[in-house]
Amino acid sequence: MSIRRLCVLAPLALVSTIVSAQDEEGFSGRAGLGYLSTTGNTETESLNVNFEMGWNYEPWHHRFAGLAVRSSTSSVTTAEAYGLNWQSNYDIDERSFWYGLIAWNKDEFSPYEQQIREAVGYGRHFIQSERHNLTGEVGIGLRQADLRDGTTQDDTILRLSGNYDWTISETSRFSQTLAIESGSDNTYTEATSSLGVDINDDLALVVSYTLRNNSDVLPGTEKTDTFTAITIEYSY
């Protein structure tokens, strides 16, 4: 089933998805809670909880993020997804780094009940300027997946990912992330586009669109899920 929901939520971009924690030395993060309800001819509810934390102590950079999304229409659940992600980077020099990550996601409306991925690899900052930043990563790892039909898939994966940040002005920014994890059984792709505008020093309004695709799915299920979100974001 394809998931298309307009949600009001508070901060976090995962995976990707999404806007990363600040890069200053020390601890920083984003956290929030969002809720949207409509009544009348159609009753809908959307609840979203998310967070991201970062620890920066050169040459180490750590990120931990989580996301939960749930939507219902007339008391029938139409979307339910969860995700956790941990990534640690170790600087080789000003532009290059080694990384390791572990990620878990669960989606009640995906052909995959849950997927766990572990990967290590190399990353590079291709562009580092006041307004533009572009980073790419390549790595190898393992994936363990549970399918809806009760079967499992254990696979070796090749992982490619990238992140582009554009500071449009002092109060607005654009971010694009892409991750592709390819194995013999399935290729998983996740991409997120987001546009944020600052409300004040701590709050921002962020509009984002996330696409998740599995190349190999069970009969009768869609390969692609999408999530559209309007976010009130708090940074600390």
Q: What is the CATH number of the domain that holds 87?
A: 2.40.160.40
Q: Give pLDDT, residue 201.
A: 86
> Based on the structure, what is the number of domains in the chain?
1
Residue 67, pLDDT > 90, answer no
Dump pLDDT digits (tens) for 76-120: 888 788 999 999 999 999 999 999 999 998 988 777 889 999 999
Q: Give pLDDT, residue 43.
A: 79
Residue 161 placed within a domain: yes
Residue 31 placed within a domain: yes
Contact 13, 208 (CB under 8 A): yes
The beta strands (E) that lie in the chain are given as 6-9, 26-38, 44-57, 60-73, 76-91, 96-107, 112-128, 132-147, 152-167, 172-182, 187-198, 203-214, 224-235
Q: What percent of the chain has pLDDT over 70?
A: 88
For the ranges 2-6, 74-78, 145-149, 174-178, the lowest mean pLDDT is seen at: 2-6
Greater confidence (180 vs 151) lies with: 180
Contact 48, 34 (CB under 8 A): yes
Residue 1 placed within a domain: no
Q: Give pLDDT, residue 23.
A: 58
Residue 152 placed within a domain: yes
Residue 162 placed within a domain: yes
Residue 38 CA to residue 185 CA, distance in Å, equals: 41
Query: What is the arithmetic mean of pLDDT over 10-30?
Result: 54
Residue 117 placed within a domain: yes
Give me the domain span that covers residue 165: 6-235
Residue 118 CA to residue 21 CA, distance in Å, equals: 21
pLDDT band, residue 7 (cuts 50/70/90): very low
Residue 146 placed within a domain: yes
